[in-house]
Amino acid sequence: MAQTIQLKRGTGSAVPSSLSEGELALNVDSGKLYYGQTSTSASNNFHFNHITASGNISSSGEIKANTLHVVSTSNFADDITIGDTKKIISTRLIISASNNTSFYGDTSITGGDLSLNAAGSVLDVQGQGDATDASGDTGAIRTNGGISIAKKAFIGTDLNIGGSITSNITASGNISASGYIQTETLKGAGSTTGLEVSGYVSASTEVLGSTGSFNVMTKAMAIELFGYAISSYHTSELYIPLAGTTSDGTADSYLNRMAAPYDGTVKRISMMYQTQHPGNGHIVRVRAASDMDIDDADDIVETITRNSISHSVMHHFDFSSSFNKGDTLGFTVEAPNLPSSNTYVYGTITFEFDTSS
């Protein structure tokens, strides 16, 4: 006749107060198994070398292991699911997945490292919160420590740096600042020290160097004022008088010559007729020569002809003609349709000098 062997047992919340050493007891309601450690104590802590489960392994307490290795099978696809408010506490969490690994909700890794070791691993953070300060508590990615990036970083909008940039900045586009751009030394191409600009430098307030201003300005703007009465040769090519004189003339002389102190460019001649309309075919010329003779045809370096020139209106003639240091310069105006000589002209000539020449 078959014999039934039953363990010592209990129900509800019953826990054996004592078991003989090696004796087993079972709570049939909770399913907890106990064994006697000594003649006066019972324990439900069991130790196994390996556990293989075709279903779930669950615990109301902690699952502790030196290594938690999740292997794909036909019924298991590399998933670890941890409920709300639960934690993974480790020194390192290593994820080596050929497919995507997703974290949902608030996920905390306490006291260790998170490593993505697979080739081509990507940490994709889809949160769109913008960082508003450097506290480490705003934005989609937050850290109270530093960030070490071995390769490129692309910033979609603004880069706000609270401290200093201690290495080089190479920009293929513009570098702009709402405040100061400060440096001890500005270096040009090669070993050249200084600021080399192919376009222009613009500032809403000041451009400052180490002494409060640039020690050397290689470009300098200058203007020459003029004012004169039109002579009886009002339809001829007349030299604009310089050197404080108001006498025009059809020939070059010391009264209408200018010595160029540097290499430079004539940028603009601005002028206004007081009365009488010069009309069409109005001509302004820039002349330059290496000697004092500037009245030859080949001394004309640039000519601008314009129509519909009226009196009482400021007219601007923009030039790009260049000259060399030591050249003699002269400027002429020809108004072939000016009705008479009973009028006056005044204006300015604007130059840009290269003071490094």
Confidence of residue 213 (pLDDT cuts 50, 70, 90): very low
Q: What is the distance between the alpha carbons of residues 351 and 322, in angstroms, rounded to a whole number?
A: 10
pLDDT at 41 over 60: yes
pLDDT at 210 over 50: no
Contact call for residues 146 and 140 (beta carbons, < 8 A): no
In this predicted model, what pLDDT tens digit does every residue of 56-92 receive, in sequence order?
Answer: 777 777 777 666 666 555 444 455 666 555 666 655 5
In this predicted model, what pLDDT tens digit does every residue of 187-196 receive, in sequence order?
Answer: 665 555 555 5
pLDDT at 302 over 90: yes
- Provide the pLDDT for residue 197: 59
Which of 182-191, 259-268, 270-279, 296-305 is predicted least confidently? 182-191
Q: What is the mean pLDDT of residues 94-123?
A: 64
Which of 186-195, 214-223, 262-271 is predicted least confidently? 186-195
Nearest to 284, CA basis, from 276, 293, 275, 273: 273
Q: What is the mean pLDDT of residues 347-356?
A: 94
In this predicted model, what pLDDT tens digit does every residue of 222-262 receive, in sequence order?
Answer: 999 999 999 888 899 999 999 888 888 899 999 999 999 99
- Provide the pLDDT for residue 31: 82
Kindly state the tokens that stand for 22.
Answer: 């090696």
Measured between its terminal Cα atoms, the distance across the chain in Å is 123
- Provide the pLDDT for residue 58: 75
The strand pair at 33-38 and 24-27 is best described as: antiparallel
Nearest to 95, CA basis, from 80, 111, 84: 80
pLDDT at 176 over 70: yes
Q: Which amino acid is at 24?
A: L
Which of 39-53, 141-155, 220-234, 249-263 is predicted least confidently? 39-53
For every residue of 188-221, which 3-state class applies, written as one string? CCCCCECCCCCCCCCCCCCCCCCCCCCCCCCEEE
Q: What is the DSSP letter of 43?
A: E
Phi then psi for residue 200, to 5 deg, are: -150, 160
Positions of E strands within 63-125: 88-89, 92-95, 109-110, 113-116
In this predicted model, what pLDDT tens digit does every residue of 269-286 receive, in sequence order?
Answer: 999 999 999 999 999 999
Nearest to 237, CA basis, from 331, 319, 329: 331
pLDDT at 96 over 60: no
The strand pair at 113-116 and 92-95 is best described as: parallel
- Provide the pLDDT for residue 331: 97
Percent of the chain with pLDDT over 70: 73
Nearest to 82, CA basis, from 66, 67, 102, 97: 102
Q: What is the mean pLDDT of the chain?
A: 80
Confidence of residue 29 (pLDDT cuts 50, 70, 90): confident
- Provide the pLDDT for residue 71: 59
Domains of the chain: 11-43 (no CATH), 219-354 (2.60.120)
